[in-house]
Structure 1
Amino acid sequence: MAPLALAQFVASFAATTMTVSISAIADGLATPVSGVQATITLFTLVMAALMVPGGKLTDVWGRKRCFTAGLAVYGAGALVAALAPGPWVLLLGYSVLEGVGSALMIPPVYVLVTVLFGEVAERARAFAVVSAAGGVGAAAGPLLGGLLTSAFGWRTAFLFQVAVVAAILVAARGLRDPGPSGARGDGPPARFDVPGAVLSGTGLFLVVLGVLRSGWVFVGLGVLVLGAFGWHITRRRDPLCPPELFRDARTVLGLATQVVQWLVLQGAFIVLSVYAQRVRGLDAVGSGLALAPVTAGVLVAAAVADRLARRLPLRRVVRVGFAVTVVGVALLVAPVRHDSGFAAFLPGLLLGTGVGTMLTASVTLVQSAWPPPAQGAVSGVSRAVSNLGSSLGTALAGAAVAATTAGPYASALAVFGGLAVVGFGLALLLPRQPS
């Protein structure tokens, strides 16, 4: 579990450490804050666009080979970002290379957990470990990233990622790999669906780009391309992902709840971080402390996620998580006033607890619905929709906080609270899990 959990840790760290360093990076590279926000959005967008092809590559290359290749690309991207002389090189290292590396290394994490742990309770416990590592990474992003940025500069946060990746590569040498589909005589070797990868990646890219730019033409084009992708996988013998995934109500609704979970978490994270820096004038450390209740909530929830999965139906866990999230976001509207103190950020604990409670449940619900041969595709789609949610959350947050007054921040949080209500409605539709 060590290399798998550490991989999720460093990916989560990369996603959140930039939020408290936005102002420092903008000043250091002489670029506007909106440019740094676009770099963060592109990072999650690249992951969302390439997670499905990355999941398929676990069947073609093998889980361990795909995992280590992703680590190598990710580490190279972190090094490029650390040495970036300008915003475009930062975009290449962070958004492109780290995004591609994450798309290669994260699907094997969830595939290996699923195939190595047969019992649902064991699997939920293993997913809880991965989620907890992600929570620690999310918590370390604002806090450790803020400390490093304040003491040594924002570049050291990327050098820290390089060191962690090197440690993972050493730990991964003893990682067991059951092998790709077809490698053990259980069928022909998997082939990579290049047209499907192009269609899925292009469609996801256009959708998020349209949201980021408020260009509904791009959104419409993206939906059309994704429709063409759906038609394509029904006609191909060895598609990028089996079309049956999108015909199963439990899988579709489970994936939909994942989109909303990450959209609300990442969006609220960005809103609070930018508010703390631009309106409250907090530095990177202060912003990290303001976000600490949210990440602490994720950690607390991850610690008990496996127990909840053993004692309660997974769909009930998801519903409870959304209910707690709605309350947390509603209470968080209070901090975005000039006269509120630091204690007003404490309801973020409820937001983090609510989302953290259902992350493990949603992943276990979707992954456990399919046999081992389909795990590569399921993992890729699951990680793609999660990163799509993060991309949409970042894009919506950036559009909502374009002004510098306090009003837009409260309105933005209210929007994410409404989306959490939509997620609760989706959770109510989840069918009963078969015994």
Structure 2
Amino acid sequence: MTERFPVGLRRALIAFALAQFICSFAGSNMNVMITDISRDLNTDVQGVQLAITLFLLVMAALMIPGGRLTDVLGRKWCLQLGLLLFGTGALLSAVAPSLPVLVIGYSIFEGVGTALLIPPVYILTTLLFKDIGSRAKAFGAISAMGGIGAVAGPLIGGFIASAIDWRAAFVLQAVIVLAIVLLSRRAVHDPLPADRSQRFDVGGAVLSAVGLVLIVLGILAADQEPMLTVGLVIAGVLVLVWFFAGVRAKERAGREPLLPTLLFRNRTSNLGLITQNMQWLMVMGTSFVVSTYLQVVKGYSAIETGGVFTATTVGVLLSSLFAERMARRRAQRTLILAGFAVTVGGIALLLTLGRAVHSIWALIPGLFVIGVGLGGMLTPSVNVVQSSFGEDLQGEISGLSRSVSNLGSSLGAALAGTILVAGVDSANPGRAYLWAMLAVAGAGVIGLLTAWFLPRTRPAT
């Protein structure tokens, strides 16, 4: 995808794609190291699930403020600061002696770093790749690397954990971050100067983050305190209503809010955001549930668990290779519909063969089909959302798009993981696995129904 670009743009695109890859990889590679981490840090499955979900949640909660900060502080400056925080968190996690230190390094430092570095990746891509064709290719490469990072995380993480140690996976993250820093120093430049005269909506940033955190924490508490779950979710919804009321009030007063309401008046973009949320819920939900079930219930090692996910990685790679060709022949709506249908079919195949054949290899066909479905629709959903707005709103829509996607990932780990973890110690853990995967399939059905209402015409990009 990069051979037709000038050398400078090619290096910048490699840096951007690696940045999206490592952030997605960080969200999924720990799934196959649950047993090893639990043993070394004297914790349990719920503790590791909490660390993973908090990492994804911090990303989701701070992605919108992170996108807004790029205009105030500068896109390249935020990119470099995000890489510094991410790399520091990776090194701290590599030497973590306990779960709280792992949460600080992985969930907080890496989560905040991701929220700062990902919005600049998409905004700078929009600014540096000026014509529609090259921009679409660049977005396709970055989105594909994000999908590959998410599904290859268990495979790479399992190999590292078995061959060396789970801590080495965090060292690898730090090494890749260093490579991105070296690549981006000269290849990446910011075409637009930072506007430090703009006021940053601190109150809006706090409200939006608190609302999302309360909702996801409510889901995490579902297996222990149902009433607490209801209370936290209601509180989260009320805080988000307060946030949007504040946005409207700021706009009427002529002040610039954290997120303009204009972003939510585009029907196509709204539908595309829902499909993004459901896609990443399925990515992380499938990865966490299958990985946990194989390690905790079936007793498989990290390398065996990661090896099974090779099928998903191959599926994503194959469908991503054909994604650009299919985008020229089919409407984005068609590709997204087909992606959801194939992914839900893959989950059905996964459950059917898994129950009929009591072997780890019986999961491979279903995971492969899931990978094919996911790889075919991740990029079209990004294109639908990004192409719904002009360049003047690319910063805001990039932050919102990444926030919605990461919220889907955190919901996947929280919702499906909570269902599974609640039944791991029961008399029939296989039933909990079934219900968790059915919840993931339900998200796919919601995405399929949402995609049905997307425009039938092919977007310009």
Q: Give the TM-score of the pair, scaled to structure 2.
A: 0.90
2:191 aligned partner: 178
* Residue identity matched to 1:177: D
1:47-99 Cα offsets, whole Å, 9 max, x none, are 00000001101111111111111000000000110011100000000000000
State which of 333, 336, 360 in structure 1 corresponds to 2:379. Answer: 360
Quote the residue 2:72 is aligned against.
60
Cα offset, 1:339, TM superposition: 4.2
Which residue of structure 2 lines up, in the alignment, with residue 430 of structure 1? 454
**Contact in 2 for aligned 1:337/1:406 (Cα 8 Å):** no
Query: Number of residues paired by the alignment?
Result: 430
The partner residue of 1:204 within 212, 229, 232 is 212
Change (3 A) 1:345 1:308: same
Instruction: Between 300-309 and 225-234, report the one with greater CA deviation.
Output: 300-309
Which residue number in structure 1 is paired with residue 6 of structure 2?
A: none
2: CA distance, partners of 1:399 / 1:226: 23
Q: How far apart are the structure 1 equivalents of 2:152 and 2:376?
A: 19
SS of alignment partner, residue 286 of structure 1: helix
**Residues 103-142 of structure 1 aligned to structure 2 (within 5 Å):** 103-142=115-154
**Superposition deviation, residue 171 in structure 1:** 0.5
Which residue type is aligned with residue 423 of structure 1? G
Q: Which amino acid aligns with 1:134?
A: G
Residues 242 and 350 (structure 1), Cα distance of their counterparts in 2 relative to 1, 3 Å cut: same
Give the Cα–Cα distance (whole angstroms) in 1 for the partners of residues 198 and 269 of structure 2.
23
Q: Could you tell me how far apart the structure 2 residues matched to 1:182 and 1:100 are?
A: 22
Q: 1:213 aligns with which of 221, 227, 234?
A: 221
The equivalent position to 1:391 in structure 2, one of 366, 387, 410, is 410
Residue identity matched to 2:380 = A
Question: What aligned pairs does 1:8-407 form with structure 2 within 5 A after superposition?
Answer: 8-174=20-186, 175-180=188-193, 182=195, 189-214=197-222, 215-236=229-250, 237-337=255-355, 339-341=357-359, 342-402=361-421, 403-404=423-424, 405-407=429-431
Aligned partners of 2:363 and 2:81: how far apart in 1?
44
C-alpha contact 1:367 1:378 (8 A) present in aligned 2: yes
300-309 vs 417-426, which deviates more? Answer: 300-309
Amino acid corresponding to residue 176 of structure 1 in structure 2: H
* Secondary structure at 1:23 match in 2: helix
Q: Is the 8 A contact 1:58 1:107 kept in 2?
A: yes
Q: Deviations over 1:242-283 (max 9, x none)?
A: 111111111111101111111111111111111111222110
Amino acid at match of 2:211: G
Instruction: Kindly state the Cα deviation for residue 131 of structure 1 after the two structures are TM-superposed.
Output: 2.3
| Cα distance in 2, alignment partners of residues 268 and 143 from structure 1 | 14
CA contact (8 A) 2:155 2:308 kept: no
Mean Cα deviation higher: 67-76 or 106-115 = 106-115
Identity %: 48
Tell me what 2:3 maps to.
Answer: none
8 A Cα contact 2:147 2:378, kept in partner: no
Post-superposition offset of 1:241: 1.4
Measured at CA, do residues 278 and 336 of structure 1 come closer, stay the same or move farther in structure 2, by a change above 3 Å? farther
Among candidates 425, 429, 436, match of residue 412 of structure 1: 436
Residues 263, 393 of structure 1: 8 Å contact kept: yes
- Structure 1 pair 73/335, CA: closer, same or farther in 2 (3 Å)? farther
> Residue type matched to 1:234 in 2?
R
TM-score (norm 1): 0.95
Deviation at 1:140, TM superposition (A): 4.0
Q: CA RMSD in A?
A: 1.6
- Runs of 4+ with deviation above 4 angstroms: 180-183, 432-435
Structure 2: distance between partners of 1:413 and 1:350: 15
